[in-house]
């Protein structure tokens, strides 16, 4: 089966599994966070919990829609294709960022020259 992204079916399945795991992990973290947040915690305790929790929370909330968007692309056959230029995203890059929406070149263009990525 020839896919326009240049990925093989087994590579897509592999990345799909990573994305599913990531989605579950984020959801569990969010649930744990919410439970902790609404539970009756003394103010001092809350202060000791909040700084690290808040960072994780923000990071994961940001990531979840990206993960879900990437998962939706798999059945569409558009997974692994750069949204910027339509070129395929390398498998190495997808392994590291399975929810990546664009290729290295477009990502670098977006982020400027200061933070050049290699994959
Ligand atoms: Zn691109």
Mean residue pLDDT across the chain: 81
What value does the CA radius of gyration of the chain take, rounded to a whole number of Å? 18
Of all residues in the chain, the percent with pLDDT exceeding 70 is 71
Q: How many Å apart are CA 61 and CA 116, to the nearest integer?
A: 25
pLDDT value at 100 more than 60:
yes
* Ligand 1 centroid from CA 62, angstroms: 22
Report, as an integer, the average pLDDT of 18-40: 82
Enter the pTM of the model. Answer: 0.71
Q: What angle do CA 110, 63, 5 make, to 5 degrees?
A: 65
Is the CB of residue 22 less than 8 Å from the CB of residue 66?
Answer: no
* Ligand 1 centroid from CA 17, angstroms: 24
**Any idea which of 14-18, 32-36, 97-101, 107-111 has the lowest mean pLDDT?**
32-36
Which residues of 6-91 form beta strands (DSSP E)?
none
Superfamily of domain 9-111: DksA, coiled-coil domain (1.20.120.910)
pLDDT per position as a tens digit, 40-94: 555 555 555 544 444 455 556 678 999 999 999 999 999 999 999 999 999 999 9
- Domain boundaries, given as residue ranges, for the chain: 9-111
Q: How many Å apart are CA 103 and CA 106, to the nearest integer?
A: 5
Q: Taking the CA atoms of 87, 92, 94 and 100 in sequence, report the sign of the dihedral they define.
A: negative
Of all residues in the chain, the percent with pLDDT exceeding 90 is 53
* Ligand 1 centroid from CA 4, angstroms: 14
């Amino acid at each position: 089966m020839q896919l326009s992204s240049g990925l093989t079916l087994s590579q897509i399945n592999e990345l799909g599994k990573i994305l599913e795991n990531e989605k579950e992990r984020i959801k569990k973290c969010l649930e744990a966070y919410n439970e902790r947040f609404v539970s009756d915690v003394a103010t001092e305790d809350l202060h000791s919990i909040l700084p690290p929790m808040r960072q994780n929370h923000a990071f994961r909330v940001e990531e979840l829609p990206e993960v879900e968007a990437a998962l939706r692309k798999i059945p569409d056959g558009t997974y692994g294709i750069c949204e910027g230029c339509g070129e395929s995203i390398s498998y190495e890059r997808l392994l590291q960022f399975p929810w990546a929406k664009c290729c290295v070149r477009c990502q670098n263009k977006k982020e400027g020259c200061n933070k050049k990525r290699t994959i």
